[in-house]
Amino acid sequence: MSAFKKLFFIGICIFLNSCLKEKQAALLISNITIIDIETGSLLSNKDIWIEGERINKIEDHDPTRKSLQFLDGTNQFVIPSLWDMHAHIVDYSWVPDLYTSLGVTGLRVMHGDSSRMNDILLNRKDGFYKGFEFLYSSPITDGPGDNWPGTEIASSPEEGRSLVQKYVETGYDFVKIYHHLDHETYLAIVDECKKLDIPFAGHVPNMLTTQEVIKTGQKSIEHWLGLEHALPNPSFMETQFSNYDTYAHFLNEFLERYDSSLIEKVLDVTKSDQTWFCPTLITTKNSAYSIAYDSIFRHDERLKFIPSEEQEYWFGDLTEDETPAYLQIPEEFNQAEIAFFKLHMTILKKMLDNGSKFLAGTDTSSPNVYPGFSLHEELQLFVEAGFSELEALQTATLNPAIFAQRENDLGTIEQGKIANLLILDQNPLVNIENTLTIDGLIRRGMYFDKETLESLRNLEERTSN
């Protein structure tokens, strides 16, 4: 055979092999019901073709269609996979696996550090990093006070501007705002963020009101729902850390001043086209019921998925008599925490109906907040607060995509979009707990069956691999 013929033959083989690989890469989900996450409509008996990382086409079911990669979706439902929009990854060796095993493929990490940022810049492609659509904040940016480890301190407007400049140079996605910032320093940070075109999100600083923060254009508010505007004097919030020895003590005083007749003021303030609310309900609930649920927390069957050192953090803060510190909260203050959580739950649906926008986030790394599991609990709490199942689902699917300005690629199940899909055995529009009936996950076109997902939760398997 001549050299030319050999080269021609090799070329044909390479071409045919590549075609075969391309054909093998096509995944067909057959005869499944798509949940339209925008309208709640059920699109029954659909075939979804996935090629590479994207949905190639969606067609009415044809039983004669076959593919080398074939999933029978008969009697099953598919929704976009989920986001946790307030996450802290304490350990990349186990937290991501738990998230993946529960159908979470999007994270907004709320306390960044430069050592991780270097790896993100090298390895994040098209918004995707280590298995997740990934948003990464700057370090917590706070004023002087009782600060978290790794916090960057801004004691003056000049220091605040300098930090924003450093964050932009480093490559963070947004600036994380915290509550000890004074009024002038916060406004300087906001001004510098706008000049350098970097979003800012986080807490409402104690020296400002929710109304003032929303007017600056802060992209999201974490944990808080603007309830100070139902106080005769909203500036009472300034005393939160100066006049009270514990947060529970402060809440007790807050509730004594709270005037439910002023709720319309809260609704007026929190209606915004630009600021989202991420209430982290599961963390607020767990904190409120830490005494009442202590035995339940300590015997939770999901603890088998959590490394011992993390469990030590959850339960190991002991007083001199070897009793957990959280069990020492005076009864009246504990009741204040419970009442405050219930107050949150009464206003959420009113805010939603009035035009406020919500994101599902959990504040993972808080005690008894299980990565992945707690995102499903957060959705259940939204429903308990009056959201429809569809409205709750939107907080972890469509809304994060809009927030991240990636709705052209994510958030719904449509031709051309990235194939991040969660396959369920039961309809979550009937019961939000059905988000846990997971039969499979597709992440950027890669299929994880139920057995694989369950193995990701197994601590022994994870630590041995």
* pLDDT tens, position by position, 314-367: 887 655 666 666 777 788 888 999 999 999 999 999 999 999 999 999 999 899
* CA pair distance 205, 224, nearest whole angstrom: 11
Which sign does the torsion angle of CA 70, 76, 77, 81 carry?
negative
Confirm if 415 and 58 have CB atoms less than 8 A apart. yes
The whole-angstrom separation of Cα 400 and Cα 293 is: 31
The answer to which of 145-149, 355-359, 420-424 has the lowest mean pLDDT is 145-149
Q: b/e per residue, 2-16, with b = 16+ CB within 10 A?
A: eeeeeeeeeeeeeee
pLDDT of the residue at 320: 60
DSSP per position, 76-139: -EEEEPEEEEEE--S-TTTHHHHHHHTTEEEEEESS--HHHHHHHHHH-BTTEETTEEEEEEEE
The candidate with the shortest Cα–Cα distance to 95, out of 81, 82, 109, is 109
Compute the half-sphere exposure of residue 6: CA atoms within 13 Å on the CB side of its CA. Answer: 3
pTM of the predicted structure, to 2 decimals = 0.92
Picking from 110, 114, 101, 115, the residue whose alpha carbon sits closest to that of residue 135 is 110
Render pLDDT for 242-296 as a digit per residue (tens, 0 to 9): 666 677 788 888 999 999 999 999 999 999 999 999 999 999 999 999 888 888 9
Distance CA 164, CA 170 (A): 10
Closest by Cα among 129, 98, 134, 106 to 395: 106
For residue 13, name the pLDDT band (cuts at 50, 70, 90): very low
Beta bridge partners of 338: none
CATH numbers and ranges of domains, the chain: 26-79+414-464 (2.30.40.10), 81-403 (3.20.20.140)
Q: What is the mean pLDDT of residues 395-405?
A: 99
